[in-house]
Amino acid sequence: MSPLPHKTGGLGGMQSLAVNAGFVKGELAVLKALMHFSDWSFGENITAGIDAIAKRSGLKPRQTKTLLSRLEDANAIEIVERSPGGRGRTHKRRICLERLVQMAQERAELEESSDEGLKQCNPQPKQCNARPQTVQSVRRNSAADAPNQSRRPMKRPPPTSESATNDNAGDRYPRDLEAEAALLKYGVSNAKARKLAITTSVSEIQAGIGLVKGAGNGVRSPAGMLVKLIEDGTAASEAARAAARMDRRQTPELPAWRVRRVDALFSALRQFHSVDVWSEISRSIREVRDVVPTNAGIAVLGLLSDDDLRDVEKHPREMLDKLRQAAVEYGAKAQRNQSTRPMRRAVTEAGAPR
């Protein structure tokens, strides 16, 4: 009996999971190509042949065939239905997302243990006294320390938001201080929290904490996993999806069919996979995703009018060109309004250009 499918956050979520699992170079390119040809939700229904996968990954067919065998040996993919052979017949594959999640967790635990080992191998240097002690001072210090030899050292209290705001608070923004306080409260080190607070919003931190809690009790270092999710962009993607869901709930006048029409547009574009114009189409899609990572965000921001959304099946390429132009204009305007923040955060927090 095959295991239950593991649902991801779309194509971007699967690709981030492949990177976290430790795949590099050729194997990562082939795995991303397979993810592109999957259903983007469970990593299933992959019917692309060797030539299509090789063209998508930028490799030769022979190299692609070898790398597919390696991925099968690593249990990253499996063949669900084998083809009997013949021209135009291909195997049906699926991506074992549950195996990728396990590999990502094992890799995070290994990195955490290696960091702890380095800390143990590098002890703190001893501090020498500035003035030599006299015989009387040595006797006085030994007598004072004698009753406290069996007493355990007091633990340092955990940092709070007040301690974070009191540390050079005059030279920093309130948003950075709030983000740093949230990271410190979850157990992130002072130096790492200060560094991440400059480029991370509170909503992204909360989204990352939600992902860590959703991983269950098997996480060895929740703080380390939170830092990893923030650094690889997974927390930002989850925050963007949460903001899009919140916008849909707060705007009841927005018809739900707009979200479905945007989904229909990208579904209609899949028919051009085997056509020579697919490189141009994929480049336009990447330009749109760099500004608005989700279909719900496109519907909420209103980058396409209702009349354009009704014609997505008839003229998908023309609608994609309009969407790309609108996304580029929106991104430029959002970047001018909030030049100190990344463009992805402007889409997540602002919702629409002011």
pLDDT digits (tens, 9 = 90+) for 295-314: 888 888 888 888 888 888 88
Residue 78 belongs to what H/E stretch?
Answer: strand 77-81
- Asked if 312 and 268 count as a contact pair (C-beta separation under 8 A), the reply is yes
Question: Cα separation of 237 and 274, whole Å?
Answer: 29
Domain topology for 11-103: Arc Repressor Mutant, subunit A (1.10.10)
Q: What integer pLDDT is reported at residue 135 of this predicted model?
A: 41
Among 229, 224, 190, residue whose Cα is nearest residue 206: 229
pLDDT score at 120: 60
Residue among 304, 230, 229, 218 nearest 264 (CA): 304
pLDDT at 153: 45
Q: Say if CB 201 and CB 175 are below 8 A apart.
A: yes
Cα dihedral 68, 71, 76, 79 sign = positive
Residue holding tokens 């003229």? Answer: 315
3-class secondary-structure state, position 212: helix
pLDDT tens for residues 166-219? Answer: 444 444 456 678 888 888 888 888 888 888 888 888 888 888 888 888 887 777
Per-residue pLDDT at 1: 38
Which three-class secondary structure state does DSSP give residue 236? helix
pTM comes to 0.33
Q: Are 282 and 11 in contact (CB under 8 A)?
A: no
Q: Point out the residues of the chain with pLDDT beneath 50.
A: 1-5, 126-140, 142-172, 251-253, 340-343, 346-347, 350-354
What pLDDT is attached to residue 353? 43
CATH 1.10.10.10 intervals, the chain: 11-103
What is the predicted pLDDT for the residue at 196?
84
pLDDT at 252: 45
